[in-house]
Amino acid sequence: MTPHFGLAEFGFLLRGLQWTVLLTLVAFAGGCTAGLAVALLRTCGHKGVEWITRIYIGMFQGTPLLLQLFVVYYGLALTGLKLDAFVAVAIGFTVNASAFLGEIWRGAIQAVPRGQTEAAMALGLHYSSRMRDIVLPQAIRISLPATIGYLVQLIKGTSLAAIVGFIELARAGQIVSNQTFQPLLVFGVVGAMYFILCWPLSWWGSRMEARLALASQR
């Protein structure tokens, strides 16, 4: 007998949702940390380092995320490094996110007027203080809408993790749908779950953007 979509199935989806959120948090936290390093290296003023970072960013932006996940999961396994599916996709998403966030923040760092850095230099502030106290606080503000936008993309993008057998929300939905033959209902619930995660963020992002636009008019 085919099971109907009930509490047990809903619970299964919720566990999938949990993994989606966890994967997103890990990838975003890792991506932010590595992305900051990428953005700083990309703007450090040393031509060689800037080129290497540029290639790094280009590589991850220019190839499918799917491929990158394959490389981490299957490729590393071939070299004898067998990773747990969660660890593998977490690494894949982190590295990918570092390239995208790095590029977003590179743009934001460069959008901070040159005069800010010059004033800081004239006051005798060193690179670390110039970045920490002057440039990054302003760059982060500038990049916030794009960063939130990327986070929303990341949440939805984690569904790709299913490809290496990791059961997150989308994959959980597929499994439940196959068992219950109620794809419309199941994927409707799955879609609603994604929406509840993403929509408030999108809303917050666009509000932030409007605020920034207003601030820059003054």
For another protein, which residue of 45, 124, 184, 214 counts as binding (CB under 8 A)? 124
Task: Confirm or reject binding of residue 122 to another protein (CB under 8 A).
Answer: yes
Contacts (Cβ under 8 Å, ≥6 apart) of 62: none
- Compute the least distance from the CB of residue 33 to another protein, in Å: 23
Rg (CA), the chain: 21
Task: Confirm or reject binding of residue 126 to another protein (CB under 8 A).
Answer: yes
Contact 57/101 with Cβ under 8 angstroms? no
Which one, 67 or 123, has the nearer CB to another protein? 123
Site for another protein in 96-115 (CB under 8 A): 113, 115
Which one, 84 or 133, has the nearer CB to another protein? 133
The encoded tokens of residue 106 equal 């590179």
Of the candidates 142, 147, 148, 149, the one whose C-alpha atom is nearest the C-alpha of residue 112 is 142
- Rounded Cα–Cα distance for residues 183 and 175 (Å): 10
Contact 167/89 with Cβ under 8 angstroms? no
Task: Confirm or reject binding of residue 116 to another protein (CB under 8 A).
Answer: yes
- Compute the least distance from the CB of residue 215 to another protein, in Å: 8
Which of the ranges 6-14, 17-25, 77-85, 128-136 carries the binding residues for another protein, by CB under 8 A? Answer: 128-136
Which of the ranges 65-73, 98-106, 136-144, 194-202 carries the binding residues for another protein, by CB under 8 A? Answer: 136-144
28 CB neighbour count, 10 Å cutoff: 20
- Compute the least distance from the CB of residue 114 to another protein, in Å: 9
Of the candidates 63, 138, 151, the one whose C-alpha atom is nearest the C-alpha of residue 107 is 138
Which one, 122 or 184, has the nearer CB to another protein? 122
Contact 5/186 with Cβ under 8 angstroms? yes
Q: Where does this chain bind another protein (CB under 8 A)?
A: 113, 115-116, 118-126, 129, 133-134, 137-138, 141, 218
